[in-house]
């Protein structure tokens, strides 16, 4: 069984004991606009806070004197066996905060045997990520026009991806005031402030940013969409997904016809939308409010998870938003999630520690899951049912 605390693979990570610690380390390591982009949510951060407090609404009721010496955190999903019931959510522009960020995340996840969803809004071309890590899933924001949908789906299939995630909670750009305040835009605006931010964070400037440019040239935002996007540093700022026509259920039906692989819809919060996704041929649903980064005030995924699981019992239901601890993972699993994802913590881990950092983050979370399973008195995730192991918490 796993040790009580995780030993860090590199001295720089020795003081990182939990996923929360990665956030503190990333705040120091990254220039303010880049940290702000990852860290931020929308408007007043109601949803982001709600994502965390939703986990407090449930208490565990452990069982004692159970033999847990041969326990396993493994789970199966879409015919694959994964080492743990959590994975890495799609995080756009990962290569801006970590050198070759998408590949670092994909390879660390593959090594640990957990799923990783590559964001289509990456600075690295999807073919390169598929080649470096064939197990990665691909996430797309699709425009509402048939020619672009068809071109991208063909390209994703040709690259070898077998699992496609369509994110549907971004019909328009969210109000991320924090990005404006932190000086972040896409593409980045070349200002004195940005130059100063770079110079005062030399490990990031030389280890990530200039190294990326030396290897790839100036990367383009939206490298993976049919149209070539703008360079990541450019005076031509602020593009909005809504200029490309809106995705509808008819488009989703078209995607289903075009895509032979596993099709997952991400960003569903209403049970009727989950039913509709199933009726349109989705193979799975990710219940998500985008980490509180889209509609501020949107309900925490954990709160609607049981209803959605009940609405589409034949589909694997996954969730993300606010997962930071093994206990969170286990509460979501007890409420019916087949898999949970975390976004920000893995982005911080990649920024702070590259492949070792992401490996360490996965190890920490998996150790927490395994340790908590022992203390709950279960050896397999299938034993974790809500009636036996969870109670609604009293108001705190
Ligand atoms: C995201 N998220 C996201 N989702 C998506 O479908 N496509 C994307 O390109 C991105 N990009 C992105 C960038 C950054 C910096 C963050 C933090 C998040 C949302 C992500 O997949 C996931 O839903 C949330 O991150 C989950 O919440 P936590 O774990 O960050 O609380």
Domain ranges of the chain: 11-392
DSSP 8-state symbol, 219: P
Ligand 1 shell residues, CB under 6 Å: 37-38, 51, 89-92, 119, 121, 139, 167, 266, 288, 290-291, 293, 320-323, 342-344, 347
DSSP-assigned beta bridge partners for residue 319: 287, 340
Residue 329 alpha carbon to ligand 1 centre in Å:
17
Please tell me whether 344 is known to bind a ligand.
yes
Instruction: Report whether the peptide linkage leading into residue 236 is cis, meaning its omega lies within 30 degrees of zero.
Output: no
Query: In ligand 1, which atom is closest to the CA atom of 266?
Result: 6
The tens-digit pLDDT sequence of the chain (396 residues) is: 566 678 888 888 999 999 999 999 999 999 999 999 999 999 999 999 999 999 999 999 999 999 999 999 999 999 999 999 999 999 999 999 999 999 999 999 999 999 999 999 998 999 999 999 999 999 999 888 898 899 999 999 999 999 999 999 998 889 999 999 998 987 788 889 989 999 999 999 999 999 988 887 777 777 777 555 677 776 654 444 445 578 999 999 999 999 999 999 999 999 999 999 999 999 999 999 999 999 999 999 999 999 999 999 999 999 999 999 999 999 999 999 999 999 999 999 999 999 999 999 999 999 999 999 999 999 999 999 999 999 999 865
What is the SS3 assignment for 258?
A: helix
> d(Cα 106, Cα 208) in Å, to the nearest integer?
17
Please tell me whether 12 is known to bind a ligand.
no
CATH superfamily to which 11-392 belongs:
Aldolase class I (3.20.20.70)
Residue 71 alpha carbon to ligand 1 centre in Å:
31
Main-chain phi, psi angles of 327, to 5 degrees: -60, -40
Residue 251 alpha carbon to ligand 1 centre in Å:
23
207: how many CB neighbours lie within 10 A of its CB? Answer: 16
> d(Cα 341, Cα 42) in Å, to the nearest integer?
20
Please tell me whether 64 is known to bind a ligand.
no
> d(Cα 51, Cα 291) in Å, to the nearest integer?
7
Rg (CA), the chain: 20
Query: In ligand 1, which atom is closest to the CA atom of 120?
Result: 9
DSSP-assigned beta bridge partners for residue 75: 82
199: how many CB neighbours lie within 10 A of its CB? Answer: 10
- With the CA atoms of 367, 373, 374 and 380 taken in that order, what torsion angle do they form, in degrees rounded to the nearest 10? -110
> d(Cα 288, Cα 298) in Å, to the nearest integer?
9
DSSP-assigned beta bridge partners for residue 140: 166
Model-level pTM?
A: 0.96
Main-chain phi, psi angles of 167, to 5 degrees: -90, 130
Q: What is the pLDDT of residue 189?
A: 82
DSSP-assigned beta bridge partners for residue 118: 138
Please tell me whether 139 is known to bind a ligand.
yes
**What tokens were used for 313?**
């019992």
Q: What is the pLDDT of residue 196?
A: 94
> d(Cα 381, Cα 39) in Å, to the nearest integer?
31
Whose structure tokens read 């709950």? Answer: 376
Residue 349 alpha carbon to ligand 1 centre in Å:
14
What number is the ipTM of this complex?
Answer: 1.00
**What tokens were used for 333?**
């699993």
> d(Cα 59, Cα 390) in Å, to the nearest integer?
6
Residue 346 alpha carbon to ligand 1 centre in Å:
10
Contacts of 272 (CB under 8 A, 6+ apart): 311
Q: What is the pLDDT of residue 395?
A: 66
Taking the CA atoms of 298, 224, 186 and 214 in sequence, report the sign of the dihedral they define: positive
| Catalytic residue (choose from 29, 201, 251, 290) | 290
Q: CB–CB of 361/346 below 8 Å? A: yes
Q: Does the annotation count 290 as an active-site position?
A: yes
Task: Spell out the alpha helix ranges (H) of the chain.
Answer: 19-29, 32-39, 46-56, 94-97, 101-112, 126-132, 146-159, 177-182, 192-199, 202-204, 210-216, 249-258, 271-279, 301-311, 326-334, 344-376, 386-389
DSSP 8-state symbol, 233: B
Please tell me whether 321 is known to bind a ligand.
yes
Q: What is the pLDDT of residue 223?
A: 76
């Amino acid at each position: 069984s796993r040790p009580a605390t995780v030993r860090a693979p590199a001295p720089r990570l020795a003081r990182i004991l939990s996923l929360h610690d990665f956030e503190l380390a990333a705040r120091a390591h990254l220039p303010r606009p880049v940290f702000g982009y990852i860290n931020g949510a929308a408007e007043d951060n109601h949803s982001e806070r709600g994502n965390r407090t939703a986990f407090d609404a449930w208490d565990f009721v452990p069982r004692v004197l159970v033999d847990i010496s041969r326990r396993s955190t493994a789970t199966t999903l879409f015919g694959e066996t994964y080492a743990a019931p959590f994975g890495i959510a799609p995080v756009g522009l990962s290569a801006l905060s970590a050198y070759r960020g998408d590949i670092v995340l994909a390879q660390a996840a593959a090594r640990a045997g957990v799923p990783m969803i590559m964001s289509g809004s990456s600075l690295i071309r999807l073919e390169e990520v598929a080649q470096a890590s064939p197990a990665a899933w691909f996430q797309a924001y699709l425009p509402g026009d048939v020619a672009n949908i068809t071109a991208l789906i063909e390209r994703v299939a040709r690259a070898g991806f077998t699992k496609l995630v369509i994110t549907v909670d971004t019909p328009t750009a969210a109000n991320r005031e924090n990005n404006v305040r932190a000086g972040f835009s896409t593409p980045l605006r070349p200002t004195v402030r940005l130059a100063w931010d770079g110079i005062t964070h030399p490990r990031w400037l030389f280890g990530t940013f200039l190294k990326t440019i030396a290897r790839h040239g100036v990367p383009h935002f939206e490298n993976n969409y049919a149209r070539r996007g703008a360079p990541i540093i450019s005076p031509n700022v602020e593009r909005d997904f809504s200029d490309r026509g809106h995705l509808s259920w008819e488009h989703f039906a078209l995607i289903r016809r075009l895509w032979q692989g596993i099709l997952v819809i991400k960003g569903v919060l209403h049970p009727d939308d989950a039913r509709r996704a199933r009726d349109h041929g989705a193979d799975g649903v990710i219940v998500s409010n985008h980490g509180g980064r889209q509609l501020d005030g949107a309900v925490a995924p954990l709160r609607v998870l049981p209803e959605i699981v009940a609405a589409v019992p034949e589909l694997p239901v996954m969730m993300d938003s606010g997962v930071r601890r093994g206990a969170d993972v286990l509460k979501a699993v007890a409420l019916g999630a087949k898999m949970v994802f975390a976004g920000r913590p893995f982005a911080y881990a990649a920024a702070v520690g590259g492949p070792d950092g992401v490996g360490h983050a996965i190890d920490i979370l998996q150790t927490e899951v395994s340790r908590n399973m022992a203390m709950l008195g279960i050896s397999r995730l299938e034993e974790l049912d809500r009636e036996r192991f969870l109670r609604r918490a009293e108001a705190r």
